[in-house]
Structure 1
């Protein structure tokens, strides 16, 4: 009986506390966008459940009319992705750096449902306030952000979907990290491999060959899921790169992949990397 009670208590503890393990936000408010990124400005996103979220917006450079919605990973806040925005903007594309609820001074607590609302609000801002056409909008999800980015792409197909270090599902990522099946305990699922099969847009999968957080085999399986569904997919591996290595997270392989798929998708004015 004691063993049973301990087991039940552990299950309850994991159920209640798992989001503390999944989401690792930097809750501090970032500095003003213009002090960090040339041409950037602070903007507010309004979610369907009434939250106001801070974000950074770097408009596109003429003649480009396209933009990238960045759905970030589970750690830090937008200040830590300034290098990514700067790198992406060299293609001429605009960049929206989103902070989810509970991140970067934003109200609320992160969850799968919440993050889905947050990226929808980001898309609404780009279309309604920034004047970006849906046909010129790309989604870039990194790590856990590949979950909300893929789900958004099913609901609202982008010009292209770029997935950096995607896992097949959060359950599979948990099994890889802890060596035990944890799917039945998870409150959030992020079924990326299932979602990409239904995406009606070109997909790019970029992953690191030395990633020990999301095994490269899972990213390759996401790309294969697109192929199996008859979709358009390009797979790019950065040899030896770890999950958080700068050369994977904001390096030439990722930026070139974004520029290439944007041009192939007909995003106006997007070209090779150029100085700003």
Structure 2
């Protein structure tokens, strides 16, 4: 009798556990985009010396970006390159101004884009439109009188590395920089939520390596070796699996995902600048 009651209680506990797990799975399915995208929706004021660029993205969505010219002392002529930036999943373009200023000091113009739903832009982000929105920004800045369209570079950080990889497969840039890239979003999700069927749940998949396989130009991957959000093994795997063109890896020692060292640190910026001067010789 006691054994029978024990079996009955065990089955009841298991049933409750299964129901709770199914509720967690359902919540993850319903709220997944709130977990992926963490926008600062406020419209930031552009800093001094920044040109505000308006452009039209997918489904006629009106978006805004900031163009920073190269510092005159570092680039007396035209910019060595124009770097178009796709952000990670948090904040907005205001948080990337130190990155842009650091590249401008090294002679590059920088266009800081924001996803829809970020930085005062209307709408809500979703995978199927982000690369198209990004390419609309590229087309807009390519028409700028101070920009050489043959020297446009894409730089994506974290989630943005998947966006620029897809964009590069559609419209190849002169060079591509990926900071803390992942192979595909499901791999990162499984790392953080091993108890969930992440691959089956995801609507926004961001398959970076798949898109990157269609880009034959030069690629620089930068990763922090103490990254707890996108562990550097994923970034190293992006390098190892890429065979379409030249690719190199720069590791920033001791850097976590959102440390200044991989946002706007000198080691990171010098690595990007050196890569671009090798990949795009000559220039302003």
Over the aligned positions, Cα root-mean-square deviation in angstroms equals 2.0
Q: Identify if the C-alpha distance between structure 1 residues 230 and 154 changes in structure 2 by more than 3 Å, giving closer, same or farther.
A: closer
CA contact (8 A) 2:83 2:109 kept: yes
CA contact (8 A) 1:138 1:159 kept: yes
* Alignment-derived partner of residue 4 in structure 2: none
* Alignment-derived partner of residue 205 in structure 1: 221
Whole-Å Cα distance in 2 between the matches of residues 126 and 267 of structure 1? 21
Which digits, 9 at most, give the CA deviation of each residue in 1:34-93, with x for residues without a partner?
2xxxx2121112113111112111124442342000000000011111111100111211
* Alignment-derived partner of residue 65 in structure 2: 55
What does 1:22-37 align with in structure 2 at a 5 Å threshold?
22-34=36-48
Q: What is the DSSP-based 3-state SS (H/G/I as helix, E as strand, rest coil) of the residue aligned with 2:59?
A: coil
Q: Identify if the C-alpha distance between structure 1 residues 2 and 207 changes in structure 2 by more than 3 Å, giving closer, same or farther.
A: closer
TM-score by length of 2: 0.87
Whole-Å Cα distance in 1 between the matches of residues 189 and 167 of structure 2? 23
CA contact (8 A) 2:78 2:146 kept: no
How far is 1:232 from its partner?
A: 0.4
Q: What is the DSSP-based 3-state SS (H/G/I as helix, E as strand, rest coil) of the residue aligned with 2:60?
A: coil
Whole-Å Cα distance in 2 between the matches of residues 130 and 169 of structure 1? 37
Q: Identify if the C-alpha distance between structure 1 residues 70 and 126 changes in structure 2 by more than 3 Å, giving closer, same or farther.
A: same
* Alignment-derived partner of residue 101 in structure 1: 116
How far is 1:195 from its partner?
A: 1.8
* Alignment-derived partner of residue 259 in structure 2: 245
Q: Identify if the C-alpha distance between structure 1 residues 212 and 3 changes in structure 2 by more than 3 Å, giving closer, same or farther.
A: closer
* Alignment-derived partner of residue 67 in structure 1: 82
In structure 2, runs of 5+ residues without a counterpart are 1-14
Whole-Å Cα distance in 1 between the matches of residues 47 and 121 of structure 2? 15
Whole-Å Cα distance in 2 between the matches of residues 87 and 78 of structure 1? 15
1:217 pairs with 2:233: yes
* Alignment-derived partner of residue 273 in structure 1: none
CA contact (8 A) 1:159 1:267 kept: no
TM-score by length of 1: 0.89
Count of aligned pairs: 264
Whole-Å Cα distance in 1 between the matches of residues 281 and 203 of structure 2? 37
How far is 1:130 from its partner?
A: 5.0
CA contact (8 A) 2:216 2:244 kept: no
Q: What is the DSSP-based 3-state SS (H/G/I as helix, E as strand, rest coil) of the residue aligned with 1:129?
A: coil
- Max radius of gyration: which structure? 2
Whole-Å Cα distance in 2 between the matches of residues 208 and 2 of structure 1? 41
Match of 1:258 among 264, 269, 272: 272
Which digits, 9 at most, give the CA deviation of each residue in 1:87-144, with x for residues without a partner?
0111211100111100011100011112112211111111123553332011000000
Which digits, 9 at most, give the CA deviation of each residue in 1:2-58, with x for residues without a partner?
887766654443222100000000011101332xxxx21211121131111121111
How far is 1:179 from its partner?
A: 2.2
How far is 1:254 from its partner?
A: 2.1
Match of 1:175 among 170, 190, 206: 190
CA contact (8 A) 1:45 1:54 kept: yes
Q: What is the DSSP-based 3-state SS (H/G/I as helix, E as strand, rest coil) of the residue aligned with 1:69?
A: strand
